[in-house]
Amino acid sequence: MKKFAIKYFALAITLLLLTSCSGGGTSAPSEDAFISGNGSILQISPEKRGVVPTLSGKTLDGTFTQLAGKVTIVNVWASWCSPCRAEAPTLQALSTTFPNVQFVGILTRDNQVTAKAFVKRFKIAYPTLVDDALLVAFPGVTPNAIPTTLVLDKQNRVAARISGEALYTDLKRIINQVLAEQ
């Protein structure tokens, strides 16, 4: 009987240790739990671009529907992500510099309370979609890191992807190139 009790006690301890390390729950992930991009830029020639379905859905403050025929900047972010915090002022500044370009965020792996605080802290004026299931809609060029910034052309095709922090000069150059396309 003693061996039987020891086996079950050892099994219970093992299960307790395994479940305590699972990382479950609703807290935000640690910064070690995401893939960080290195800022690499992938630009796609017009003939190789895939069309993205129109982005729409619930945002932190209501609803959003992408406007047809506009260059669109899509930024995938989370409030706990250091590179996201670093690039937030850049994205907001560019959204002001380019009023003819539509900016939209997609919140991923985060909760809406901390996301709203992030938006308020960085004075982000463009909408953020809260359904990160939208990320599967990008054909061939998926967001592959947090943050990822995608540039969509006027035909709603992915023209460029920045994996990691978007820098002002790089993103401005890409926006100007895509705006200049016929």
Lowest-confidence region among 1-10, 91-100, 162-171: 1-10
- Residue 182: what pLDDT? 77
pLDDT band, very low/low/confident/very high, at 1 (cuts 50, 70, 90): low
- Residue 70: what pLDDT? 96
Q: Does 176 fall in a domain? A: yes
Report the distance separating Cα 133 and Cα 22, nearest Å.
Answer: 23
- What is the count of structural domains for the chain? 1
Report the distance separating Cα 175 and Cα 143, nearest Å.
Answer: 18
Length of the chain, please? 182
CATH number at residue 123: 3.40.30.10
Please write the tens of the pLDDT for every residue from 131-160: 989 988 887 788 889 999 999 999 999 999
- The dihedrals phi and psi of 21, each to the nearest 5 degrees, come to -105, 10
- Residue 35: what pLDDT? 52
Please write the tens of the pLDDT for every residue from 15-71: 332 222 223 333 343 333 345 577 899 999 999 999 999 999 999 999 999 999 999
Q: Residue 84 is inside which H or E element, if any? A: helix 82-97
Q: Does 122 fall in a domain? A: yes
Range of the domain at 150: 34-180
Q: Does 16 fall in a domain? A: no
Report the distance separating Cα 151 and Cα 35, nearest Å.
Answer: 20
Q: Does 22 fall in a domain? A: no
β 148-152/72-77 pair status: antiparallel
Q: Does 42 fall in a domain? A: yes
Q: Does 23 fall in a domain? A: no
Q: Does 108 fall in a domain? A: yes
Check: CB of residue 40 under 8 Å from CB of residue 164.
yes
Q: Does 7 fall in a domain? A: no
